[in-house]
């Protein structure tokens, strides 16, 4: 029997739409459009474009996402369960195609985009979603055997290893971390044994430490993150500018549109480091508002999963947990990077950062 106090947060209209969840997404998207416009005003001078050009592009991204949302909402959930493996295989093929010389589009030393007739698509974003769908289906199919190591952890571990090799070949270490953390949480919530999970955590931590140690550019990022002011005009430049933006905003911010750091000081102010602009213009309250929205998103996702499991819809429950975890984990990493508590990663803030793929 459900908790009556939670029913108000799970109200659905006649079409079966969770209105609280849709309202939350609407707030995130509108806030994102507002901050993209504010953070990209200076780009119009640099690229000789109208100041609303990037806002219009982002609006088209949002409209495309909404059309996909409607299409997916009318797709029977059983199809995602049945074709989870095929979706993941397509995602892996996209990652392989990305590595073919002349196909992948390189930006800042990383080949993460496929460019077709002026449109750039980032396969890693599709891979994140595909892995959540596949893992949800795997946990549902194997629910009676998850207490064994071979069925509970090892098979997913093999898939993760293959994905990791393809992502690190780009390189895209940030997406690999997001997928690993998301799958780990899904396995934990799905009923995998604790000591199996702990063993995998130890292996993953050792692997990540080894990858950072053997990669000069990753080591530089870690060292610059620990003390960005040691080299404020080179390796620590981006983080220093982000910290200046957040510090300048103080409690209430300097006002919407009043950011100075977005005027060519802070690189990637409209995507990876848009939260720093939020902190500068809207202050600590603005950042707290963003954290609250993603906290509410996670809570609603878990409540949806709980009600789905009570109704016997195990795949839907695992899927809701995975999607909520994926979005919130990526948001937390982006927030941590902007605030200087995590090493710099090329991860966007979901629904808020500029960009079409995410």
The pLDDT of residue 202: 87
Q: Which residues pair with 104 in a beta bridge?
A: 114
pLDDT value for 8: 42
**H-type helices in 151-273, by residue range?**
155-168, 173-190, 194-214, 216-226, 237-249
pLDDT of 345:
80
Query: What is the pLDDT at residue 310?
Result: 92
- How far apart are the C-alpha atoms of 81 and 79, rounded to whole Å? 5
The SS3 call for residue 117 is coil
pLDDT per residue as tens digits for the range 254-291? 999 889 998 888 888 888 999 999 999 999 999 999 99
Q: Determine the pLDDT at residue 49.
A: 57
> Per the structure block, which two tokens stand in for 312?
């016997």
For residue 5, whether the previous peptide bond is cis, meaning omega lies within 30 degrees of 0, is no
- Is residue 252 classed as helix, strand or coil in its secondary structure? coil
Q: Measuring CA to CA, how many Å separate 282 from each of 213, 236, 276?
A: 38, 24, 10
User: Which residue numbers in the chain have pLDDT < 50?
Assistant: 1-9, 48
Burial of 131 (0-12, 13-18, 19+ CB in 10 A): buried
Q: Which two tokens stand for residue 356?
A: 């079409």
User: How high is the pLDDT of residue 290?
Assistant: 97
Task: Please classify residue 62 by burial: count the beta carbons closer than 10 Å to its beta carbon, then call 0-12 exposed, 13-18 middle and 19+ buried.
Answer: middle
Please tell me the pTM assigned to this model. Answer: 0.88
- pLDDT tens, position by position, 72-91: 888 999 999 999 999 999 99
Mean pLDDT of the chain: 85
* Residues 186, 142: Cα–Cα separation, whole Å: 13
């Amino acid at each position: 029997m459900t908790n009556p106090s939670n029913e108000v947060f799970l109200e659905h209209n006649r079409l079966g739409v969770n209105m609280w969840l849709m309202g939350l997404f609407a707030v995130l998207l509108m806030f994102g459009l507002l901050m993209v416009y504010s953070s990209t005003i200076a780009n119009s001078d640099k690229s000789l474009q109208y100041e609303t050009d990037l806002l219009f592009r982002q609006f088209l991204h949002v409209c495309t996402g909404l059309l996909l949302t409607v299409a997916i909402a009318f797709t029977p959930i059983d199809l995602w369960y049945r074709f989870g493996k095929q979706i993941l295989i397509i995602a892996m093929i996209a990652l392989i195609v990305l590595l073919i010389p002349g196909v992948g589009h390189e930006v800042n030393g990383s080949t993460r985009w496929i460019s077709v007739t002026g449109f750039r698509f980032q396969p890693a974003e599709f891979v994140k979603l595909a892995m959540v769908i596949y893992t949800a289906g795997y946990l549902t199919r194997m629910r009676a055997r998850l207490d064994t190591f071979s069925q509970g952890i090892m098979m997913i571990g093999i898939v993760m290893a293959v994905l990791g090799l393809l992502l690190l070949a780009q390189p895209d270490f940030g997406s690999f971390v997001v997928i690993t953390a998301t799958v780990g949480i899904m396995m934990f919530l799905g009923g995998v044994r604790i000591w199996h999970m702990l063993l995998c955590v130890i292996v993953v931590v050792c692997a990540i430490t080894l990858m950072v140690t053997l990669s000069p550019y990753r080591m530089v990022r870690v060292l610059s993150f620990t003390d960005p002011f040691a080299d404020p005009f080179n390796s620590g430049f981006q983080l220093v500018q982000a910290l200046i933006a957040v510090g300048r905003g103080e409690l209430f911010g300097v006002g919407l549109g009043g950011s100075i750091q977005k005027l060519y000081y802070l690189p990637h102010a409209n995507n990876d480091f848009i939260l720093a602009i939020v902190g500068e213009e809207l202050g600590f309250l603005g950042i707290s508002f963003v954290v609250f929205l993603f906290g509410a998103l996670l809570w609603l996702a878990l409540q949806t999963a709980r009600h789905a499991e009570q109704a016997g819809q195990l795949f839907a429950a695992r899927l809701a947990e995975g999607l909520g975890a994926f979005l919130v984990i990526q948001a937390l990493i982006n927030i941590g990077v902007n605030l200087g508590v995590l090493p710099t990663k090329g991860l966007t803030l979901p629904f808020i950062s500029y960009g079409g793929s995410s």
